Amino acid sequence: MIPVLHLEAHGNEMCLGLLDGNGGVEVLTWDELTEPLQRLNLATRCNLVLVVAACIGFAGIKALVRGPRAPAIALVGPNAPIMSGSLLSGTKEFYKRWMDGNPNFAEIAASASRESGTVSFAWEPFAVLAYDALAKQVVISMRKDQQRMQVRRIHQRMVEQNRWSAAEIEHRLSLLTPSLQANLTQRLWDEMFMIDLYPENRERFGVNWAREIEMVLA
């Protein structure tokens, strides 16, 4: 079974909220959810699915953009303001389809949207979101002007720290190669999807970043 965390509340693009019983509203920002989700996903070996049953619940994607560990493997939620009756029928359909033998997120979200009549359920696998962000960063970092700027920044930092001779600084700068970038990126990715802890996760989330960088350079 894939564990599901279901959050149901009022919501907007900034936070979730509920009445506090004293005439006010208690809110939980998306940023505040990030670290607890990371801990929960770590406990489930990177299997957590987050369902946000709230207005613009898909804005919860903001809680999924920070590392070092993935906060969930996927987010499902409405992408616009909603009516409670439509939310109920759509969510019931979501969980009914979720119990299918081999659930498919795209089909489940589409079926839930149709059943609700007015609610559009969006979904996003975190691996795709993370890959897009990291690949963009890699492409930019491989540009020659960016590499020169990076070398200058690191050189300046080393000089300011005053810990190495000029020859040692040049030697360390010579180690800033695409292969080093690939190793660092691979380590970041494997930690994000807990491949370092659970090697079997490579079958679902594995990316060979050395090969990706070779393709960028080619």
Tell whether 105 and 135 lie within a shared domain. Answer: no
Chain segment 91-114, per-residue pLDDT in tens? 888 888 888 777 787 888 888 888
Tell me the average pLDDT across 199-217. Answer: 91
Higher pLDDT, 191 or 167: 191
Q: Give the model's pLDDT for residue 63.
A: 66
Tell whether 77 and 95 lie within a shared domain. Answer: yes
Neighbours of 179 (CB within 10 A): 12
Higher pLDDT, 14 or 132: 132
Tell whether 16 and 118 lie within a shared domain. Answer: yes
Q: Residue 203: is its pLDDT beyond 70? A: yes
Tell whether 154 and 67 lie within a shared domain. Answer: no
Tell me the average pLDDT across 78-96. Answer: 78
Amino acid letter, residue 82: I
Higher pLDDT, 191 or 215: 191
Q: How many residues does the chain have?
A: 218
CA distance 136 to 198: 26
Domain termination residue (choose one: 93, 125, 157): 125
- The 3 state secondary structure assigned to 20-47 is CCCCCEEEEEHHHHHHHHHHHHHHCCCC
Number of domains in the chain: 2
Tell whether 134 and 114 lie within a shared domain. Answer: no
Neighbours of 64 (CB within 10 A): 23
Q: How high is the mean pLDDT of the chain?
A: 82
Preceding peptide of 68 cis, ω within 30°: yes
Tell whether 115 and 140 lie within a shared domain. Answer: no
Domain termination residue (choose one: 99, 125, 151): 125
Tell whether 201 and 105 lie within a shared domain. Answer: no
Tell whether 155 and 116 lie within a shared domain. Answer: no
Tell whether 165 and 204 lie within a shared domain. Answer: yes
Domain termination residue (choose one: 106, 125, 144): 125
Q: Give the model's pLDDT for residue 207.
A: 94
CA distance 177 to 199: 27
Tell whether 120 and 133 lie within a shared domain. Answer: no
Print the domain residue range for 98.
4-125
Tell whether 138 and 111 lie within a shared domain. Answer: no
Tell me the average pLDDT across 55-82. Answer: 75
Tell whether 19 and 119 lie within a shared domain. Answer: yes
